[in-house]
Structure 1
Amino acid sequence: MVQIRTASSDDVALLATLNDIVHDLHKRHRPDLFVDPREPDAVEAFFRSQIADPSVTVLLADGTEGKALGYALARVKNRPGSALMHSDVIVSVDQIAVVPDAARGGVGTALLEAVREVGRAAGCRRLVTDVWYFNESAREFYQAAGFRPMNMLLDQQL
């Protein structure tokens, strides 16, 4: 059984370790963007700052005996309206990771539902995320969860 809880500053070392799951994939495919080696103190400081940010909620998925199975970092964003677009309040999944042994076991789905609840509580209308083109398993996960493509970010070296 998976229990979802809000992370605290006591969890930053654990979050830094869990972040390795996705960071390793990202740096393997985009070494021009993702640092290697990472400084553990800097990664912990990053998570500490995110936990302190009132617009961010960091969630941890705990399994039996309190073993960490994954995490999600969600951010509520207020977008002011303009002459071209309506104002909007959205919740975004900025990061999500599930330990490989727990993949396809409902952990990601439980984290995503907890993010939806964060968004609903904050009055958000939509849940958004972005996925790297090379991360096929993440694209499949989000599509199975009902997400659909919204826009495409393109990249070119100069």
Structure 2
Amino acid sequence: MELVEATADDLDALVDRWYSLAQSMEPYDELNELAFADVDDVSDDGFRDHLDDESVTDYLVVHEGETIGFVTLREGRHPSRRYSRYLRIVNLAIDEPHRNRGHGAAVVERVRELARGRGCDHLKVSCEWHNEDARRFYRDAGFRPKQVDYAQPLE
């Protein structure tokens, strides 16, 4: 398994995979409701912006020459803390036919290597509170709960 940094040529693959991930998150909270009825309605502008943002990197997950997922990483800092430089896993999705084969764990291990290489001292990730599969996956990958995010729609 390898992570291949995405380019403008990969925008369609990123949008398709993001849309699938976003659809799977909809049942967990009303705030996850998609504004797009179809993947073809989704603009690639968000991922295009990532290409210009030095703190964000999108990678395609490639196994035996086939793209099987993607991961979005964002670098950040907490300058007043001992553990001050982090790499956040913003999105991690493995295509359905390739799940439960160790690819996600391999991605997390590769992200650890990238983080160390960038001088980061910790990783961050969040997932939907009621998404037991994701919570279990991250616990099994060595993550621990640290804080809880709250959200409130402003209607």
TM-score (norm 2): 0.86
Give, in angstroms, the shift of residue 142 of structure 1: 0.5
What's 1:52 paired with?
52
- SS of the residue corresponding to residue 44 of structure 2 reads helix
Amino acid at match of 2:57: T
User: What is the aligned-residue RMSD (CA, Å)?
Assistant: 2.1
The match for 1:125 is: 121
Q: Could you say which residue in structure 1 is the equivalent of 2:95?
A: 99
The change in CA–CA distance for 1:41 and 1:52 in structure 2 (over 3 A counts) is: farther
CA contact (8 A) 1:70 1:107 kept: no
Distance 1:114 1:40, change over 3 A: farther
- Aligned residue pairs: how many? 153
The structural deviation recorded for 1:59 is 1.4
Once the 2 structures are TM-superposed, how far is the Cα of residue 151 of structure 1 from its aligned partner? Answer: 0.9
Which residue matches 1:62?
62
Residue of structure 2 equivalent to 1:150: 146
1:88 aligns with 2:84: yes
Aligned CA distance change for structure 1 residues 52 and 87 (closer, same or farther; 3 Å): same
Residues 69-112 of structure 1, C-alpha deviation per residue, up to 9 Å, x if partnerless? Answer: 1111011102222xxx4471111101110111111112111221
Q: Distance in 2 between matches of 1:87 and 1:62?
A: 31
Contact 2:83–2:121 (CA under 8 A) maintained in structure 1: no
> Against the structure 1 CA distance between its residues 131 and 32, is the aligned structure 2 distance closer, same or farther, given a 3 Å change threshold?
closer
Aligned-pair CA distance for 1:32:
3.2
- The one-letter amino acid of 1:119's match is A
**Structure 1 unaligned runs (5+)?**
none
Letter in 1 for 2:102: G
- Paired with 2:11 and 2:92, the residues of 1 have a C-alpha distance of 15
Corresponding position of 1:31: 30
State the one-letter code of the partner of 2:89: V
Conserved 8 A contact 1:71-1:111 = no
Deviation at 1:3, TM superposition (A): 2.9
Structure 1 51/70 Cα, relative in aligned 2: closer, same or farther at 3 Å? Answer: same
Kindly provide the CA deviation profile for residues 34-89 of structure 1, in whole angstroms up to 9, marking residues without a partner as x.
3232664654111111122111121111223x3221111011102222xxx44711
TM-score when normalising by structure 1: 0.85
Secondary structure (helix, strand or coil) at the match of 2:60 reads strand
Give unmatched runs, 5+ long, in structure 2: none
Q: Is the 8 A contact 1:16 1:40 kept in 2?
A: no
